[in-house]
Amino acid sequence: MKRNYLLYLLLFLLAGSILGLACKREVNIVPKEASKTLNGSWQIVKATRNGTDLTDRFDFSKFRIVFKDSSYTLENPVPFPVSDNGSFYLDDPKYPFKINLEQTGGNNQALDMQFPITGGVRSIIIDFSPGCSENTYEYTLQQVKQ
């Protein structure tokens, strides 16, 4: 009887060891998120005011905002939160939710921002109100292909 007990115990330990070795341990790999870069020339591809599409009502085609390192330059200005060149920074380089535009000589703007990839294309979506809180604008910008 003692012999059967030892045999069962040995078989139990052997089966437990085999099962323990057969199971793979789950390794949590956390991907490193790259810092976002805005460097390049961006154009407005969609504009709305209070949810109404304005894209075809105004010629945005020549407007560009060019980001380089920590500065920006406006080309062929349109109604925009800032009207002069300056510097910029993101609230978080990996997960930006705000872009801060610091215009040379004054008017600084902290704008809500989204930075999605849709259909394989990176976009910048900014929301702003030019003074009247009843009017909110949303511009979708995409990088100009060189």
Q: Is residue 33 part of a domain?
A: no
pLDDT band at 88 (very low <50, low <70, confident <90, very high): very high
Q: Looking at per-residue confidence, does 21 or 28 come out higher?
A: 28
Q: Is residue 89 part of a domain?
A: yes
Q: Which residues span the domain enclosing 125?
A: 40-143
d(CA 88, CA 37): 12
CA angle 80, 122, 112 (to 5 degrees): 40
Q: Looking at per-residue confidence, does 11 or 106 come out higher?
A: 106
Domain count, the chain: 1
Report pLDDT for 13: 67
Q: Is residue 88 part of a domain?
A: yes
What is the pTM (predicted TM-score) of this model? 0.74
User: Does the structure show a pLDDT above 80 at 140?
Assistant: yes
Question: Could you tell me the CA-to-CA distances from 106 to 58, 75, 85, 86, 90 in Å, in that order?
Answer: 27, 19, 11, 9, 18
Q: Is residue 72 part of a domain?
A: yes
Report pLDDT for 23: 62
Q: Is residue 46 part of a domain?
A: yes
DSSP conformational letter for 11 = H
- Nearest-Å Rg of the Cα atoms of the chain is 28
Q: Is residue 132 part of a domain?
A: yes
Q: Is residue 16 part of a domain?
A: no
Report pLDDT for 26: 72
Q: Is residue 128 part of a domain?
A: yes
